[in-house]
Chains A and B, each alone.
Chain A
Amino acid sequence: MRSESAEQTDRAPGGLVERLVRDDVDRKRFLKLAGSAGAASFGAFVLAACGSSKKAASTAATTAGTATGAGSGSGDVAIANYALTLEYLETEFYEKVEASGFFKGATASLIKGFGSQEQTHVEALKGAVTKLGGTPAEKPAGRFPIENATQVAELAYTVENLGAAAYLGQAAKIQNPELLAAALAIHTVEARHAATLGTLVKKSITPDGAFAKPADMSTVLAAVKPFLA
C-alpha cells in the first residue's frame, strides 16, 4: 500500500508534499531539515518538496536524511524557520507591491505599514531561531504576479489569510512558551492584515466564519510554491 501510494504521488504534482502529510517519517525529516543548520536550503527544499520530479524528491530526501546540525532535533526551530520563510515572502511581496505604484495616499501608506510589520516579523523570527540554537533560514527568492491594483490587493488578501492560517496551524505544536507568545502576537497581526484587505477587496473578513481554520505545513507550502522563483 505504501509503494502504491508512493508511485501515485511521484506522478502527481505536489506528490512529496502529500507524502509529507501521510508519512510521519518524511515529515520528521522535513522538520529536521527545516530546523537544521543547513536551513539555507529551506527554499530549495520547499521547491523539491512541492515538485513532481522524482529526482528532485530523492535529492531532497537524501539531503534531509543527512541533515544534521544545531537545533536540528527541535521542532520549534523548524517551525520558526518555516514562519520566517513565509514572512520573508510576505515582505518581498509588499516591497514589490509598493514599488508597483498602483496605490496612492492612504492605501499606499497602509501597504507600506503592513510591509514594514512583516519585515519586523522577519527580524523577530530570525532572532527567535538564533535564540533557540538554530540557524535562520535564508531569504528565498520570491516571484509574484503584479498586474494591477485589484489583482495585487486580492493576492495580498490571499497571502495574509494563508499566513494567519499557517500560524494557527503551528501554534499548538510549539513547545517553547516564548516562541509561542511571539507566534501568537504575530498571528493576530496577520489576521488583522487579512481582514483589512478583505474589506478593501470586498471579500469576507472572516472567510472561515466564527472559528478560524488552521492550515498545516504541507497545505501552506503547496500554496506558497507558485511564489518561489
Chain B
Amino acid sequence: MSYNVNLEEIDADGAVREAADGVSGDTRLSFLKKAGVAGGGLLSGGAILSTLAPGAMAATQHGRPPAKFGRGDIGILNYALTLEYLEAAFYNGATAANLALNPQTAAFLKTVTADENAHVAFLKKALGKKAAKQPKFDFKGANTSVESFMKTAQVLENTGVHAYSGQALNIKTPGYVKAALSILTVEARHASVIGLLNEGAAPGGKEMTPDGPFDTPLTASQVLKAVEGTKFITG
C-alpha cells in the first residue's frame, strides 16, 4: 500500500507532501469569494479568543435556517440534512466516476462517502416524515475530475464544519445536540484530511486548520449563500 503522504517520506527528506498530487492555492477562499461569502461573511477566529466571543455568539445564537426548512430543531436538522444530501451526492458521484485518485485520496473518498451517507440516513431517520426531500443536484463536472473533486471536497467539508458549528447552540433537544456535535467532529476530520491532501508540497498546515486555532461558525444564511453560489442544487 503506497501512501502518498506518510511518515517515512517525511522522515527521509522532510518534503513528503511534494509526493502528494496536491492542488496548490487557497481554493477555499477563492471558492467562497466566488460565492460571495469571503470578506464580511467570515467571522474571525480572534473574536473567540478575545473574551470568548461576542462575535461567535452573534453567529451561534442567531443565524437559524430559514422557515422553509421547518420550525425549531426540525428546521435545523433539515438544514443539516440538506447539506448532507449535497455532500453524499457529491461523493457518490465521485465514486461512480471512478477517478484516478492516489491511494490516500481514494481512502479519503471511501471514508467520506460512507460517513456522509450515514449522516443522511441518521438525519432522515431522526426526522421521519418531516425529513426534507433530497434536492436535485448538478455538480457540473466538479466531482468527475481529480483536481476539481479535491478542491470542491475541501470546500464542502469546511462548509459543513462552519454550518454545524453555527447551529450547535441553537439546537434545543439534548439528543440532537449530541448527534450534531458528533457529526461536527467528523466533518472537521474530513476537512483537515482533504486539506492535507490538497496542500501538496506547501508547508505549514494552513489548509488543515484554515481558521487557525478556532473554527468559525457561520450563520445559515452565510452557508446557504455559499451553497447557492455553487449552483449545485438545481431543484
Q: Do A and B come from one complex?
A: yes
CA distance A188 to B209 in the complex (A): 9
Give complex CA distance A127, B47 in Å: 13
Q: Mark B10-25, 1 if CB is under 8 A from A, else 0.
A: 1101111100000000
Any A CB within 8 A of the CB of B56: yes
Known contacts A121-B213, A149-B10: A199-B196 contact under CB 8 Å: yes
Please give, as numbers and ranges, the residues of chain A lying within 8 Å of B17 by CB-CB distance: 106
Partner of B178, one of A116, A172, A188: A172
- Chain B CB count within 10 A is highest, among A123, A178, A186, for A178
- How distant is the Cα of A214 from the Cα of B193 in the complex, in angstroms? 21
Contact, CB under 8 Å: B214 / A195? no
A170-229 residues with Cβ-Cβ distance < 8 A to B are 171-172, 177-182, 184-189, 191-196, 198-202, 204-206, 208-214
B7 touches A153 (CB 8 A): yes
Query: What is the CA–CA distance of A110 and B14 in the complex, to the nearest angstrom?
Result: 11
**Does B49 contact A123, Cβ atoms closer than 8 Å?**
yes
Among A31-39, A49-57, A97-105, A136-144, the one that faces the other chain is A97-105
Bound state CA distance, A208 and B118, in angstroms? 13
CB-CB under 8 A for A181 and B205, given A102-B11, A168-B182, A199-B5:
no
Count class of interface residues, chain A? 35 or more
B134-177: CB near A (< 8 Å → 1, else 0) gives 00000000000000000000000000010001001100001001
* B227 on the A face (CB < 8 A): no
B217 in the interface (beta carbon within 8 A): yes
Whether B209 pairs with A192 at a CB distance below 8 angstroms is: yes
Partner pick for A184 among B119, B181, B195, B206, CB 8 A cutoff: B181
Chain B: interface residue count, which band? Answer: 35 or more
Total residue contacts A-B, CB cutoff 8 A: 220
Q: In the docked arrangement, what's the CA distance between A199 and B15, Å?
A: 15
What string of 1s and 0s marks CB contacts (under 8 Å) between B187-212 and chain A?
A: 11111110111000111111011011
Q: Which residues of A contact B61 (CB under 8 A)?
A: 177
Closest to B11 in A: A149
The CA of A146 and the CA of B118, in the complex, are separated in Å by 38
Whether a CB of chain A sits under 8 angstroms from the CB of B183 is yes
Q: Is the CB of A120 within 8 A of B185?
A: no
* From A106, A185, A198, contact of B10 by CB (8 A): A106
List residues of chain B with CB within 8 A of the CB of A127: 49, 51-52
Q: Which residues of A contact B186 (CB under 8 A)?
A: 191, 206, 208, 210-212
- Is the beta-carbon distance between A200 and B60 smaller than 8 angstroms? no
A109 adjacent to chain B (CB < 8 Å)? yes
In residues 96-131 of chain B, which contact A (Cβ within 8 Å)? 104, 108, 111, 114-116, 118-119, 122
The smallest C-beta distance from A120 to any residue of chain B, in angstroms, reads: 4
Cβ of B184 < 8 Å from any Cβ of A?
A: yes
* Known pairs A124-B213, A200-B7 / 17 extra A-B pairs, C-beta < 8 Å: A105-B10, A106-B16, A106-B201, A109-B205, A113-B206, A113-B209, A171-B177, A181-B56, A187-B188, A191-B192, A192-B189, A192-B209, A194-B189, A195-B188, A195-B192, A200-B196, A210-B119
* A–B complex contacts, Cβ < 8 Å, 28 sampled: A106-B202, A110-B205, A117-B209, A120-B49, A120-B214, A121-B213, A123-B49, A127-B51, A149-B10, A172-B174, A177-B57, A178-B52, A178-B53, A178-B56, A181-B169, A182-B48, A184-B165, A187-B185, A193-B209, A195-B192, A199-B197, A200-B5, A201-B7, A205-B189, A206-B186, A208-B186, A210-B115, A214-B182
Give the A-binding residues of B (Cβ under 8 A): 1, 3, 5-7, 10-11, 13-17, 45, 48-49, 51-53, 56-57, 60-61, 104, 108, 111, 114-116, 118-119, 122, 161, 165, 168-169, 174, 177-179, 181-193, 195-197, 201-206, 208-209, 211-217
Q: Please give the residue numbers on chain A whose beta carbons come within 8 Å of chain B beta carbons, in ascending order.
A: 102-110, 113-114, 116-118, 120-121, 123-124, 127-128, 131, 149-150, 153, 164, 168, 171-172, 177-182, 184-189, 191-196, 198-202, 204-206, 208-214
